[in-house]
Amino acid sequence: MSGGGEGNSAYGHKAFKRSRSHFADRITADGRDGRPVEAGRYRLVVSRACPWASRALVSRRLLELEHVLSLAVVDPIQDDRSWRFTLDPDGRDPVLGIRFLSEAYDRRETGYPGGVSVPAVVDVPSGELVTNDYQQITLDLATEWSALHRPGAPDLYPRARRDEIDTVMAEVYEDVNNGVYRAGFATNQEEYEAACAGVFRRLELLEPRLAGQRYLVGDTITEADIRLFTTLVRFDAVYHGHFKCNRWKLAESPVLWAYARDLYQTPGFGDTVDFDHIKRHYYQVHTGINPTRIVPLGPDLSGWLSPHHREELGGRPFGDGTPPGPVPPGEEVPPQGRP
């Protein structure tokens, strides 16, 4: 998710087009891009408000990479210099020593003209950005970082099912992950209606698939579930109202609502979600479509903890593995961000 004062105020006034990741160096087991997997060398910078960054948060928790890949969480409210570390003492990241994520971008490429986006992985020794490729970061965490995974970590991108996972993820990305943004930032009625229709058409196609199986691909959690979850968990809180994706609420779809609650209650998913950050970011930063910056009081979030009964479909959330351990001290979601 990119940020910056001008860009945020422009949403709703010019056609929305998601930027491609400009910095796409890969951190690999063999270091072929000059960026080898190494414990303690890199820092993951996220916003808990951002669905694209939240994918990396979930993957990192499920694989329990917290002890080898440190975490920086930015303020959900940006200023004209974009993502900032104002949640940290003195407004400075304690590891990187910077006040704005843009400083890591500048160290990589002075005068970079694009937006400053999360998730971002920063090289700690040099302080420069390595990658902001949100599509590839989680795939590499699941595969290239395997030597540092915890014992019992799930296989989030199983080789035998990658073609099916890739197909499902591509459809979900086009119509749902990115579709809600195209609807929310549409500049005319026709553009909005096409995007909104696409969102609900895809969700309705997913319903029968998930009515008969617990997870999107196979009987275990995969990368496909992570990518759908990070949009679904924001649906009623922000996309239904703020982005006008309001043909129906997630809570009105028995299958998708149960599926989303099942994942939310699975260790590694809900314990990374901060609804306070989500609501304040969307409603207070996107001034182009919400100029008053008023944050709604609703919806009631308590339903996220209600029984889902999805275990009756079978499935093994972690395959032959085990759940991740407790959230590390200092990374817990504050009480105001939970249901």
Concerning whether 181 is annotated as a catalytic residue, the answer is yes
SS (H, E, C) 108-176: HCCCCCCCEECCEEEECCCCEEEECCHHHHHHHHHHCCHHHCCCCCCCCCCHHHHHHHHHHHHHHHHHH
Residue of 11, 42, 157, 181 with catalytic role: 181
103 dihedral zone (left: phi>0; alpha: psi -120 to 50; beta): alpha
What CA–CA distances, in Å, run from 188 to 13, 14, 15, 333? 9, 9, 9, 37
Do the beta carbons of residue 305 and residue 265 sit within 8 Å? yes
DSSP 8-state symbol, 294: P
Determine contact, residues 203/136, Cβ cutoff 8 Å: no
Q: Residue 235 class from Cβ within 10 Å (0-12 exposed, 13-18 middle, 19+ buried)?
A: buried
d(CA 10, CA 146): 41
Catalytic residue among 11, 50, 134, 239: 50
50 is catalytic: yes
Nearest-Å Rg of the Cα atoms of the chain is 19
Three-state DSSP state, 199 = helix
Catalytic residues: 50, 181
